[in-house]
Structures are given as C-alpha cells and as structure tokens.
Structure 1
C-alpha cells in the first residue's frame, strides 16, 4: 500500500496531524466489516435530516452515542427509537494507537477514552460542508480514519468557514487527528474521487470515514451537551 515512496507524516496546523497509510489493509478490512454490521442496525445507516429540512448527502451510522443535529443521545429518536450499538473496547484501543502515531507516547494519549464513533459513507456525489465538531463536552482530540476512495479534506481555522484553510488528500488507510488549538477548527469534504478505492481495503467503491470522539457525557443521556453552530447547507 505504501509503494516505493511513502508519504510523510505532516503537521497541518498546531494539534492537527496527518499520518498517511497508517492503517494497513488487513485492519481496514476488519473495520469495514464492523461498520457494515453496524450499518444494518439496531439503528441503520441513514441520510440525516437537518432541522431546516435539508438532508445530508453522506450516510451516517453511530456507535456508543447517537448523533443527531445537534446533540447526542443513547437512542435514535430521529430514526427508529432504538438504542445504538455499544462502543467496543477494541475501537477505543485503536483510537489510543492512533493518537500515539500522531502525537507520540504522551500522557494525554494514555488518558484518551473515546466513547462514540460517527461513521460516514460517501458515494461519489457526497460532500460535507464546513463545520465544527462542538457537540462534545470533552475537548479531547478527534481521530479520523479514511477507507476506500480518496477525498479532499479541507481543514480550516477556528473562527469561520472561510480562508485560511488547507486542502489535504486523504487516501485509504490515512489517519487525521485534530486536537489542542485545532480541536474546534472548521473542516469539511468538498470532493470525493470515485474509482480510487483499493479493493484490498474491503471497499470497492465509495469512502468510509470513521471518527472517534470523547463526548464527555458519562452516563447521561438527556442531551446535556454543547450545541454546535448551524451548518450552512445540507451537504454537512
């Protein structure tokens, strides 16, 4: 997968690190298989409907906590009312491994305890508008894993959706972590490149993005969390 000239690790902004080709094909396939199982339920993969009536072009399924605009809950009241699948220990361990790869073996890495995963599937036409991840009470980093088709990932500033931003190509197996000063940076996906997926990843088409987060909600399930800023359009 790495080829003759593997892409170097890059610090995109303070606290934002891109580690190319981090997840090997066999682990990509394992993660794809798990995501396919979660996509079947108890809460199925769906296009999220935004409060203004817009519909997200990506399809989403959640593990641990259910995300809906703009809060978390244990049950998917906007879908079928079912309780979401539990967050497995192996996925939390994968998140800690990812943080170590991005930041090194430091104490915040050892304390990292993600308790939710948002799993987004992009077909060739799907996009994600610029937004902040602000529903979490915890300021712990977000771990993002890409599998399948390459995408353009736009990583911006913490003040607004506009420039300055940096466009990064995320390919299958790539890791992107953002925390610290970049934790609440605006980011989005303006483009997916159809036909770039390696079947060895377990994805013959489309892009799978798995983001791991600490909600900071503990055992609460009553929606007591930050509310994010409204998204500008239905492509979130």
Structure 2
C-alpha cells in the first residue's frame, strides 16, 4: 500500500515562472530570451544552471541569491504562485488518511516560506539546505526514508523530473508519480524513462487521490 505522499516543490507545487523571470531581470536579459535558453539547456540534458553561464560566465547561483537578498530582491513565492490544483489535492489526500510531506532542493529561505504556506497542511517540510543533501543524490532520498513513518515501498514521491525525482526515488525503493508541467515535465514526458519508471503519470495532482485509492484497494 501507499501510506505516504511526498511532494517536490518547484514545478510540482510551485509555478516558478515568476521566479525565473526575476532572474532574467537580475541578469539584464529579456525574459523570453532567458526562457528560451532555459528550455534549450534542459532539452540537451544539461544542468539548468548552465543557462546562467550563457549570459554571465562564472555565475555562482548561491552567491547571486545572497546578492539579490542584500539588494532587496530575495527569492520569493506565495499563494499566488501555487498551481491551482495544490490545495484541493492536499485536502483530498489528507481525507484519504495519507501522511503528507514536502521535500525538495530548496534554500533555508524557501523552507521558511514553505512552512508559512503549508503548515499544518502537511506533516513534514524538508529542504536540501536543511538536510545537507540535494537531489538527485541518494543521500537526499535516504533522508526522506528516515523521516517518513512508512517503508520506502509505501512512499509515493511526486515530482516533475525524471532525472532529479523519479530515477533516484525508484532506486531508493519508492513509488513515484510524474506530473506533466513546467519545462522538465513537458520536455521529458515522452521519453522512455518517463513512460516506464513512474507508478503514476498525471496531468493534475487531483488525479492522485483516486489513483492511490485504486492502487491500495487490493491490499484492503
């Protein structure tokens, strides 16, 4: 049975369109140019941070985050940046009696924002900065397995990326769900791994509750 559902953050719960737009502004390049290069980098299977190198060689993302904060433009997201299916999906899964968590590659600052947005709607919120391990490293998913009160095979990890989410979660023995949205989910959707690896493939998080109920039915 699936007893716990753990969500990725960016492009799973949070639409990052505005955030990446502000990075384009910070770099001083047109937003559509930045977005086009971002997509091209992902389509080539490269690390998304290579996008920044195109416009500013030697760009250090962590250092620039701090510089933005010092300049009064820190990373930020709010209720208006959540995908419209998030709240109702969480309510449905909670009503099903499932343990819920959020765990993704996020900064300490983003972790604070997530706790403001989602406590007490979920049971746990963890970030890569909190844990000192980031996806796709196995240590990140080992940490997820440690904090979730269920066995790995009873955990469903929900994300938008084959490389960062599905592949390492499956290696950790977890079930997975791929949501088709954002640049990664859209670009990777038709790849063999995206079709073979996940337990579920969904267009909306609202599909998860009935899918999990059906999956769990034989065990009841």
Higher helix share: 2
TM-score (norm 1): 0.28
Larger radius of gyration: 2
Higher strand share: 1
